[in-house]
Amino acid sequence: VEIAGAGIGAMTAAAAFALRGWAVTVHETQPRLREAGAGIYVWENGFRVLEALGAYDDAIRDAHRGYKSRIRGPNNELMEERSHADERVYAVVRQNLVNALAKVATDNGATIVCGSTAVGALPEGKLLFSDGTSADADLVIGMDGVGSRVRDSLGLLRSLEMLPDGSIRAMIPTLPGEYDTEEGRIFIENWSGNRRLIITPINKDVTYLAFTCLDSDVEAKQVPIHKALWTRTFPHLAHYIDRVEDARWDVFSTIKVKAWSVGHVAIAGDAAHAQPPNLGQGGGMAMQNALGLAVALEGVTDRSDIPAALVAWETRERPLVEHCQKWSALYGELTYWPDELRLQVLHHGSQIPWITKQLTRAAQSHPTGTVGSTLVSPYLAAAPVLETAAD
């Protein structure tokens, strides 16, 4: 297996295939394995994948298990509260997640080549590089992100929609004692007009902030961050905003593709199905489809059967991904609504079990190859720890 990219999705694929005895080489364009300096929400579905790969303990080391989320309005008023007592959601440092997956991959024989840029692929199973060389494989996987060159070289893109909103992400130091307070251990989404500031405690040392606004909100999306403007928007959060130093801005996007594979080449993760991060499932979907891909090829002994196995994989996994893309986009629509209307929708919507079920369907799912799925892999690393109460 030759894999383009070494993000969360690609490293999951590398670990899943290496555990099954495949010879795996991963090509990352950056000079080293480096994730955006940010946190990431991982939900139950992501943990089931990590458990199946044996990467769970390393991934959640130094992470924060959420026990409650709050939504607050422009005047710091409480709009909604959700308990996570019956579900697992952690805020994890991205780099720790990738490192945990990379360790499983390399411990099982995978090779990671940094500074290696893929420029395309051929359906017969060839990955092409920027230096003019290529590598042959039974399976090529393009997990090279939103701008995937593997996907585009095969003409698989149906649409790349840049959304009207985006986010500045930053990690700030946690103040002494802050993590010990009740509010300091809660995920808080603060709304004011089109702007949002999401506060995510990770541990005693770091807190993750996401400043979300419209792409047309030129001052708000500035990096370095316009502290005075954000403090005017959220005066009660000045003590967080003050601490921001490094930050990065990304516009949200949605990717739709014609198919997830051609011949011996598969695409997955953001390359195939990027979505706005409103449900915190872009990474979850990348992980679960990567494991599902390895499981789809478990029974295949003849190279010529691989293309059909890839089609079966897409047929099984794609409906959930598309459901998730749709509901994440719907949630994002709230950004454009007036505060009062948003408040009403959030309040009444959360009382309707059907809506909650749609929003959490991916998070609650049992990914292919994990305990509870219809297709349980014989390679499950260990019996999962199914906790139900918050730490």
Ligand X SMILES: Cc1cc2nc3c(=O)[nH]c(=O)nc-3n(C[C@H](O)[C@H](O)[C@H](O)COP(=O)(O)OP(=O)(O)OC[C@H]3O[C@@H](n4cnc5c(N)ncnc54)[C@H](O)[C@@H]3O)c2cc1C
Which residues in this chain contact ligand X in the complex, by CB under 6 A? 4-10, 27-30, 40-41, 117-118, 143-145, 149, 167, 169, 210, 250, 269-270, 277, 280-284, 286
Minimum CB–partner distance for residue 254 and ligand X (Å) = 11
Residue type, 321: V
Minimum CB–partner distance for residue 163 and ligand X (Å) = 10
Minimum CB–partner distance for residue 247 and ligand X (Å) = 11
In the sheet where 134-136 sits, what is the strand order?
118-122, 126-129, 134-136
Of 175 and 250, the one with the shorter C-beta distance to ligand X is 250
- The phi, psi pair for 44, rounded to 5°, reads -50, -45
Minimum CB–partner distance for residue 56 and ligand X (Å) = 16
Minimum CB–partner distance for residue 143 and ligand X (Å) = 5
Of 282 and 292, the one with the shorter C-beta distance to ligand X is 282
Give 159-209 as a 3 state SS string: EEEEEEEEEEEEEEECCCCHHHCCHHHCEEEEEECCEEEEEEECCCCEEEE
Helices 339-350 and 353-360 cross at an angle (nearest 10°) of: 90
Of 277 and 307, the one with the shorter C-beta distance to ligand X is 277
Of 255 and 343, the one with the shorter C-beta distance to ligand X is 255
Of 175, 201, 208, 174, give the one whose Cα is nearest residue 391.
201
Minimum CB–partner distance for residue 75 and ligand X (Å) = 26
Of 166 and 307, the one with the shorter C-beta distance to ligand X is 166
Of 169 and 342, the one with the shorter C-beta distance to ligand X is 169
Of 360, 359, 380, 362, give the one whose Cα is nearest residue 371.
380
Q: Where are the alpha helices (DSSP H) in the chain?
A: 8-19, 44-53, 56-60, 94-107, 149-153, 227-233, 238-241, 270-273, 282-296, 306-332, 339-350, 353-360
Of 135 and 175, the one with the shorter C-beta distance to ligand X is 135
Cis peptide bond upstream of 378, omega within 30: no
Reading the block at residue 276, the tokens are 């706005």
Whole-angstrom distance, CA of residue 127 vs CA of residue 147? 16
Minimum CB–partner distance for residue 158 and ligand X (Å) = 17
Minimum CB–partner distance for residue 179 and ligand X (Å) = 19
Of 369, 382, 360, 378, give the one whose Cα is nearest residue 49.
369
Of 282 and 307, the one with the shorter C-beta distance to ligand X is 282
Minimum CB–partner distance for residue 365 and ligand X (Å) = 13
- The phi, psi pair for 169, rounded to 5°, reads -110, 140
Of 39 and 125, the one with the shorter C-beta distance to ligand X is 39
**Residues, the chain, total?**
391
Tell me the β-bridge partners of 40.
92
